[in-house]
Amino acid sequence: MSAPRYDRGAMALHWLHAVLVLGLIAWGLYMVDLPKGPERSFAIGLHKSFGVVALLLVVLRLWWRMRHPAPPDPRLGEVERKLAAAGHHLLYLLLLATPLAGYLSSSFTQYPMKVFGLVIPKAGWPDEAINAFFNGAHKLFAWSLLALIVIHLAAVLMHAIKGKAVLGRMLPGRGAVR
Query: Which domains does the chain possess?
Result: 8-170 (1.20.950.20)
| Secondary-structure percent of the chain, ordered helix, strand, coil, rounded to 5 | 70, 5, 25
Closest to 108 (Cα-Cα) out of 124, 119, 121: 124
pLDDT by residue (tens digit) across 88-135? 999 999 999 999 999 999 999 999 999 999 999 999 999 999 999 999
User: What one-character DSSP code corresponds to residue 53?
Assistant: H
pLDDT by residue (tens digit) across 52-75? 999 999 999 999 999 999 999 999
Q: Residue 105 has what pLDDT? A: 98
Burial classification of residue 169, based on how many CB atoms lie within 10 Å of its CB (0-12 exposed, 13-18 middle, 19 or more buried): buried
Q: Please, which pLDDT band fits residue 174 given cuts at 50, 70 and 90?
A: confident
| Those residues with Cβ within 8 angstroms of residue 71's Cβ, 6 or more apart along the chain or in another chain | 3, 4, 5, 6, 169
Question: What is the residue-averaged pLDDT of the chain?
Answer: 95
Report how far apart, in Å, the C-alpha atoms of 64 and of each of 11, 20, 82, 86 are: 11, 18, 21, 18
Task: Give the C-alpha separation, 6 to 66, whole Å.
Answer: 13
Rg (CA), the chain: 19
Closest to 137 (Cα-Cα) out of 173, 107, 176: 107
| Contact (Cβ atoms closer than 8 angstroms) between residue 109 and residue 177 | no
> What is the pTM for the complete model shown?
0.93
User: What one-character DSSP code corresponds to residue 122?
Assistant: -
| Those residues with Cβ within 8 angstroms of residue 16's Cβ, 6 or more apart along the chain or in another chain | 57
